[in-house]
Amino acid sequence: MFTRIIYEDWQLIFPVVALAVASCVYLAAAWRATRMKSGQAERLAQLPFETE
């Protein structure tokens, strides 16, 4: 019923690159959030979710 997917050597690059890109985006967002100044964090915390 289930067959094992056998990657060729050149096909292995796609999942590795996708994982690397996703990891870089996540780490960049986390780094930016941790390095944010407290004044900017307070200003962003006060933004409304909906307009009146």
Q: Name the pLDDT band for 7 (thresholds 50, 70, 90).
A: low
pLDDT in the model for residue 9: 72
Q: Name the pLDDT band for 34 (thresholds 50, 70, 90).
A: very high
pTM metric for this prediction:
0.61
pLDDT in the model for residue 52: 67
Tally the C-alpha atoms within 13 A of residue 47's C-alpha that lie toward its C-beta.
6
pLDDT in the model for residue 31: 96
Q: Distance between CA atoms of 14 and 8, rounded to whole angstroms? A: 11
Q: What is the pLDDT of residues 8-21, one digit of tens each?
A: 677 778 888 999 99
Which tokens is 22 given? 């996703």
Query: Closest Cα partner for 26 from 18, 16, 14?
Result: 18
